[in-house]
Chain A
Amino acid sequence: MTKHAVISGVHNTRVGTVPGSTCMSLHSDAAFGALADSGLNLSDIDGVLCAYALTENYPMLSSAFCEYVGVAPNFNAGLHGGGATAAMMAMQAAALVRNGDCRHVLCVTGDNRLTGMTRDKAVAALAEFGHPQFEQPYGISIPAAYALVAQRYLHETGATLEHLAALAVSHRKHASMHPDAHMTEIITMDDVANARIISDPLRLLDCCLISDGGAAFIVSAGETAGDLRKTCPAILGVGQGHTHEHILAAPSLTNFGCKMSSQRAFGQAGVTTADIDVAEIYDSFTITLLIELESIGFYEKGEAGEAALRGDLTHGGALPCNTHGGLLSFGHSGAAGGMFHIVEAVRQLRGEAGPRQVPDAELAFVHGDGGILSAHCSMVLAA
């Protein structure tokens, strides 16, 4: 049997306001950071995967990246799955190395969407995710689309705004323990409750950040693990789930494709939710995480919020979740946002997470979602 693909190197740049950065410089910094982490050289890389960027909107970002740094891989492609892209890259890269097409695949993302464009431009560019004829004419924004989900979820489950706030508070606490995080000032339940409303019921602190930042990881063939510098977590299971692109076409506002993607990943890995030591799950909004925790099966419907309030989802709890602070507080830099979750999972499994370390973390679950809970990719990683 072919050995599992492994993640041999990870890196994130500083996240937040990164003066002097460009989309491509963040890609480069992330890539060379991951190479240094793995002990590999650029010449060892025979596959490259990139995503997309708002500030430098190349039609072929992956080719633009290879041109920029001067690498000519055997395999080079771009993936577009919104926030699920980073996990999809890992899935694609794992297939490439298992198939023998590549030995070391560099997956790299970055965008300086905080300093490289105005906040208004970023919000407007993101609103273009809406259907051009049947959503955009109504003034849809990404927060508004998630607010539609939140309103329906609160209505069906009786969950409260406090449940959402508990997640915002724990994520900020986690980010305060990370030297590279965008927002590190501790917030309280009152701060979340009193934050201005963006799109009711979502308040400012229910929403992810807009950050400069980059991230990269390298997926290597399992057979190469002996040549690598560090312990390399194995990709035990991966899976995707897709139900819609536009929120008007979603079959449900409270059950999403994360159910299928996670079942596939858990099935392939031969583990269950109860086995997971640490979870890094996409949190574009507090509601995103709450719904995913339930759809994935960590909690019954309507119970994840109570779990958050009682401290389950932080250090010392049953399921420490987004230990780096997530998109809500560590930062969100486009496709790199979902990659920060993978970087953190690898650090946890290697025992390198410092004050954020979950003791004896051996099995991590990572999940990315793109669009409006549209495209999902889940992954189980083992130390």
Chain B
Amino acid sequence: MTNLKPVPVPNADTQVFWDACNEDRLLFQTCRDCNHTQFYPRAICASCQSRNLEWRDSGKLGVVHSYTIVQRAPSPAFKADAPYLLALIDLDEGFRMMMNILDCPADAASIGMPIQVVFEQRDGQKVPQAAPRK
């Protein structure tokens, strides 16, 4: 059966990021001019508007900034998963991403919980996800 969940469609700003995910690498951008770290990937630094950005590899460790247990899924693709954990994750390098927390009972999630990034295969694209740190 086809995976109905949305598969990210890379564009020119994000192609490098998504290609790296397929190699189990999590990239983020920093600005060579002002040292700002940002996520999601952009063509421009959102702090100083420089275009002098570089990609760096994340250590793929972070903590839960906030989370929710979604009971009412927004679309049929997610209905089978409900209840599922949706979280904002603060990565150790100083950027924030949205992920699901996988391999974690819903009532075991907490703010500040340490996580590691894992990759979930969706069609031809791997998608970064969070799991409790082992």
Provided the pairs A151-B68, A199-B71, A248-B98 are in contact, do residues A133 and B40 lie with their beta carbons within 8 angstroms? Answer: yes
Complexed CA–CA distance, A132 and B11 (Å): 11
The residues of A that contact B131 with a CB separation of less than 8 Å are none
Residue of A with least CB distance to B107: A200
Q: Determine whether the beta carbon of A200 is less than 8 Å from that of B68.
A: yes
Q: Is A318 among interface residues, defined by CB-CB distance under 8 A?
A: no
Q: Determine whether the beta carbon of B122 is less than 8 Å from that of A200.
A: no
Which stretch, A39-47, A136-144, A303-311, touches the partner chain B? Answer: A136-144
Complexed CA–CA distance, A26 and B86 (Å): 37
Complexed CA–CA distance, A123 and B100 (Å): 20
Q: Determine whether the beta carbon of B66 is less than 8 Å from that of A133.
A: no
Q: Determine whether the beta carbon of A248 is less than 8 Å from that of B71.
A: no
Q: Determine whether the beta carbon of B14 is less than 8 Å from that of A133.
A: yes
Q: Determine whether the beta carbon of B71 is less than 8 Å from that of A151.
A: no
Q: Determine whether the beta carbon of A131 is less than 8 Å from that of B40.
A: yes
Most chain B CB within a 10 A radius of its CB, from A127, A136, A144, A147: A144
Residue of A with least CB distance to B7: A137
Partner of B72, one of A135, A136, A138, A141: A141
Q: Determine whether the beta carbon of B8 is less than 8 Å from that of A133.
A: yes
Q: Is B61 among interface residues, defined by CB-CB distance under 8 A?
A: no
Q: Determine whether the beta carbon of A140 is less than 8 Å from that of B111.
A: no
Q: Determine whether the beta carbon of B75 is less than 8 Å from that of A137.
A: no
The residues of A that contact B83 with a CB separation of less than 8 Å are 200
Q: Determine whether the beta carbon of A139 is less than 8 Å from that of B70.
A: yes
Interfacial residues of chain B within 79-119, with CB under 8 A of chain A in the complex = 81, 83-84, 86-88, 96-100, 106, 111
Q: Is A108 among interface residues, defined by CB-CB distance under 8 A?
A: no
Q: Is A1 among interface residues, defined by CB-CB distance under 8 A?
A: no
Q: Is A229 among interface residues, defined by CB-CB distance under 8 A?
A: no
Complexed CA–CA distance, A143 and B70 (Å): 9
Q: Is A274 among interface residues, defined by CB-CB distance under 8 A?
A: no
The residues of B that contact A131 with a CB separation of less than 8 Å are 40, 98
Complexed CA–CA distance, A132 and B14 (Å): 12
Partner of B100, one of A136, A139, A152, A202: A139
Q: Is B43 among interface residues, defined by CB-CB distance under 8 A?
A: no
Complexed CA–CA distance, A239 and B58 (Å): 39
Q: Is B133 among interface residues, defined by CB-CB distance under 8 A?
A: no
Partner of A138, one of B10, B18, B99, B106: B99
Provided the pairs A137-B5, A200-B69 are in contact, do residues A124 and B74 lie with their beta carbons within 8 angstroms? Answer: yes
Complexed CA–CA distance, A91 and B123 (Å): 47
Provided the pairs A138-B99, A198-B71, A248-B96 are in contact, do residues A144 and B86 lie with their beta carbons within 8 angstroms? Answer: yes
Q: Is B1 among interface residues, defined by CB-CB distance under 8 A?
A: no
The residues of B that contact A151 with a CB separation of less than 8 Å are 66-68, 111
Interfacial residues of chain A within 124-165, with CB under 8 A of chain B in the complex = 124, 126-127, 131-141, 143-144, 147-152, 155
Q: Determine whether the beta carbon of B69 is less than 8 Å from that of A199.
A: yes
The residues of A that contact B66 with a CB separation of less than 8 Å are 148-149, 151-152, 155, 253
The residues of A that contact B72 with a CB separation of less than 8 Å are 123, 141, 143, 198-199
Residues of chain B at the chain A interface (Cβ within 8 Å): 5-11, 14, 18, 39-40, 65-75, 77-78, 81, 83-84, 86-88, 96-100, 106, 111, 122, 127
The 6 tightest CB contacts between A and B, nearest first, are A147-B68, A127-B74, A141-B74, A139-B78, A152-B66, A200-B69
- Pairs across A and B, CB under 8 Å, 24 listed: A123-B74, A133-B14, A134-B39, A136-B6, A137-B122, A139-B84, A140-B86, A140-B98, A141-B70, A141-B72, A143-B72, A151-B66, A151-B67, A151-B111, A155-B66, A197-B71, A199-B69, A199-B70, A199-B86, A200-B71, A248-B88, A249-B40, A253-B65, A253-B66
Given A134-B8, A136-B6, A139-B100, output 9 extra A-B contacts at Cβ < 8 Å: A127-B75, A131-B40, A132-B6, A133-B8, A139-B81, A200-B69, A200-B106, A248-B39, A253-B88
